[in-house]
């Protein structure tokens, strides 16, 4: 398992002052950019032109989460924009292996996301094609939702499969991450954590990031002490 990474979601940021909001999380590992199209999910956020501007001013790498239909068509453009990682939904891709390879060929890490009810087993054979597996811990589309504990067994199964295969795939979780729920997710095997309101709802986002990083690292510290 790799170190704990905290990727704050700007879905909870002040979009009128987005450049300043990015500076408030400059100690994060990456900024999580939620792209929603009002088709795949019932919400509309930002598109590629805005993401390109965020890429130009962000003090940390961009981690895009594409909650959009027809990912095979649109996802490569985000890789072309120079993003560190681009995650598409398995449910929105007709050819996920081809898409993951295309994202990598364009210079981005390839991530694939699964809704809470989507089983991980059908996708285990393509782990070597991915850099990250995002297991949604809420239904995608809106921030501020409560963590779904029913996703923990799926995280554990994904971790066991990854460790068994030797694939260098990170497990990211997104939704309801707090200083309390991050521990359960980390114990299940996640190492990359998306947090929106837990960071931007704090008086000091940088301090909130450090607290989350400390809590998320607890299972790693325990394992190294054994």
**What token pair was written down for 120?**
């991980």
Rounded distance, CA 214 to CA 226, Å?
Answer: 18
B/e letters for 154-165, b = 16+ CB within 10 Å, e = fewer, are: bbebbbebbeee
Please classify residue 212 by burial: count the beta carbons closer than 10 Å to its beta carbon, then call 0-12 exposed, 13-18 middle and 19+ buried. buried
Sequence-distant (≥ 6) Cβ neighbours of residue 109 within 8 angstroms: 84, 85, 86, 103, 131, 132
Q: CA 49, CA 225: separation in Å to the nearest integer? A: 47
C-alpha pair distances (Å), 204 with each of 15, 17, 38, 150, 164: 18, 16, 32, 31, 39
Distance CA 130, CA 112 (A): 7
| Catalytically active residues, by annotation | 34, 174
Tokens of 111: 């991530």
């Amino acid at each position: 398992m790799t170190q704990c990474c905290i990727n704050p979601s700007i879905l909870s940021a002040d979009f009128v002052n987005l450049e300043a909001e990015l500076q408030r999380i400059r100690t994060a590992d990456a900024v999580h950019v939620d792209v929603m199209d009002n088709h795949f999910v019932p919400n509309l956020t930002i598109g590629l032109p805005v993401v390109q501007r965020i890429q130009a001013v962000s003090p940390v790498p961009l981690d895009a989460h594409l909650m959009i239909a027809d990912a095979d068509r649109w996802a490569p453009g985000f890789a072309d924009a120079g993003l560190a990682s681009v995650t598409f939904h398995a449910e929105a891709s007709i050819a996920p292996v081809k898409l993951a390879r295309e994202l990598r060929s364009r210079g981005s890490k390839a991530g694939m996301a699964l809704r809470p009810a989507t089983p991980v087993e059908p996708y285990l054979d393509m782990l070597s094609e991915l850099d990250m597996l995002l297991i949604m811990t809420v239904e995608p589309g809106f921030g501020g939702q409560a963590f779904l504990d029913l996703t923990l067994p799926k995280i554990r199964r994904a971790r066991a499969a990854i460790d068994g295969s030797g694939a260098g795939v990170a497990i990211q979780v997104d939704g309801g991450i707090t200083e309390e729920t991050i521990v359960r997710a980390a114990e299940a095997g996640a190492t990359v954590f998306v947090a929106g309101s837990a960071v931007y709802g704090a008086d000091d986002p940088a301090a909130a990031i450090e607290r989350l990083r400390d809590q998320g690292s607890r299972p790693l510290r325990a394992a190294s002490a054994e």
